[in-house]
Structure 1
Amino acid sequence: MLAENLKHVEDNIQTACDKCGRKREEVTLIAVSKTKPVSMLSEIYDCGIRDFGENKVQEICEKREQLPADIHWHMIGHLQRNKVKYIVPDVELIHSVDTYRLAEEINIQAKKINRIVPILIEVNAANEESKFGIAPEETLQLVQEIAKLDNITIKGLMTIAPYTENPEENRPYFKKIKELSVDIAKENIDNVSMDMLSMGMTGDYMVAIEEGATLVRVGTGIFGARNYNK
């Protein structure tokens, strides 16, 4: 069943790319595996997926011990400063940086192991009180501050759009983040590129791709509904 789910998602990504004249290789599919057992991750790995997203540091640490070393782990959930040291050595990308203090801690831990850690700035596109992320109008200033840190490199932006039954409702938010990334790129800030846009989840990733997403985070669409009681 997982292989069928994955094929359906892949077909949708191709359809969205075709619709907006993009190449399939411009979009990375991140299989969001939070709360899912290692056996399910292995099954998707065997289908060719190498990028996995987790919301909790503990899950990344536990799962990477049991799975192949060529997996790219993405930290997509809210990151607490006291947990940073556990993932800095080998996380592929931290999507959820929304304060200078968090970036500073990542920089401190990265310096200890002489690694430059790629991050995305999480933007709260819809200004939802229930969500993390910096306000769009404050993003440039935060980027300018974080860019001065030696052991971090800013690769782009991330957003979590509002939950909606109709993905078209989120198009304006994705468009806003894309425009913001273009504006920031024009500033030509050292240590900053805006090549990555992490936006779009199971309900709206096709619309996100049409608006410029380079990373889509799909969990339920691949693994099915989550069981939070485990």
Structure 2
Amino acid sequence: MSHGEIPASVAENLKDVVRRVEGAVQRSSLKKPARLVAVGKTKPVELVQEAYEAGHRDFGENYVQELLDKAPKLPDDTRWHFVGHLQSNKAKMLVEGVPSLAAVETVDSEKLANKLENALEGQSRPPLEVYVQVNTSGEESKFGVEPSDVVSLAKYIKESCPHLKFSGLMTIGMQDYTSRPENFKCLSDCRDKVCEALGLKVEDVELSMGMSGDFEQAIEMGSTNVRVGSTIFGERYYPNKEEANKHDNA
């Protein structure tokens, strides 16, 4: 393969997903395009680079160390989204190690918000976009705040964390990762409550929901940000099902 050529699989998969995203947007009531975050979790950086060479710029990772390893190998205009569970003691490492970090989509506590806020103090960069993760399925295996606690955490971030920008809400959905409509409806309802409580416009608060198995349905139900991994980069391997259920969210 000559330099610059892109394996047909990644390029064609990406092109197909982009087409499907655009089609779902046309079928939805969205007034602007939905963002596609290509999640390269457990995949070699070479595949992520190939998607970049195909023109993509928004990428997601689930693990701090994996993102720390991959970020320096991609150009500075790469927009990284952290989409996995983030332990508060790794917030500083993530912020300092990934200058092109665009968003953390999994903020689920004031403690984590504070850790991110403190890590950003003194840095000459715009506020970091953050999403409040909501456990819309009620499963104990899922991270995220309960729907009843969403407003208070969003308010805390907006009022007490000047280095963070509250950008929206995120959910993973059901354990088989083909979310049921009620999960998406729950997140949309949470957004309505947040907007009412904080005086925000609905169109200014993103919904990050929808993954490889259900991103089209999610967009049709209002998602503005979808996280797609295996459909672009190929299936992932996990040593056991429990590991997959706990960490897979793309």
Corresponding residue of 1:60: 67
**Are 2:167 and 1:155 aligned?**
yes
Distance 1:144 1:193, change over 3 A: farther
**Are 2:206 and 1:199 aligned?**
no
Unpaired runs of at least 5, structure 2 = 1-8, 240-250
User: Offset of 1:101 from its aligned partner?
Assistant: 0.4
Contact 1:30 1:51 in 2 (8 A): yes
User: Offset of 1:132 from its aligned partner?
Assistant: 0.3
Residue 133 of structure 1, aligned match among 144, 164, 167: 144
Give the counterpart letter for 1:129 in structure 2. E
CA distance in 2, matches of 1:21, 1:146: 28
Residue 118 of structure 2, aligned match among 88, 108, 111: 108
Give the counterpart letter for 1:95 in structure 2. E
**In the TM superposition, what whole-angstrom CA distance separates every residue of 1:99-144 from its partner, at most 9, and x where no partner exists?**
1100011111111325422100000011110010000011111222
CA distance in 1, matches of 2:194, 2:231: 32
Unpaired runs of at least 5, structure 1 = none
CA distance in 1, matches of 2:22, 2:152: 36
Alignment of 1:1-230 (within 5 A): 1-22=9-30, 25-89=32-96, 90=99, 91-115=101-125, 116-147=127-158, 148-164=160-176, 167=178, 170-188=180-198, 194-228=204-238
Matched residue of 1:48: which SS?
coil
Corresponding residue of 2:3: none
Q: Which moved more, 1:10-19 or 1:75-84?
A: 10-19
Matched residue of 1:43: which SS?
helix
Count of residues in Structure 1 that have an aligned counterpart in Structure 2: 225
Q: Percent identity of the aligned residues? A: 39
**In the TM superposition, what whole-angstrom CA distance separates every residue of 1:161-219 from its partner, at most 9, and x where no partner exists?**
11348x4x6111111111211221122358x9952111100001011101111110000
Q: Which moved more, 1:76-85 or 1:144-153?
A: 144-153
Matched residue of 1:133: which SS?
coil
CA distance in 2, matches of 1:87, 1:18: 36
- RMSD of aligned residue pairs (Cα, Å): 2.0
Contact 1:182 1:194 in 2 (8 A): no
Contact 2:151 2:197 in 1 (8 A): no
Give the counterpart letter for 1:6 in structure 2. L
User: Offset of 1:26 from its aligned partner?
Assistant: 2.1
CA distance in 2, matches of 1:4, 1:19: 23
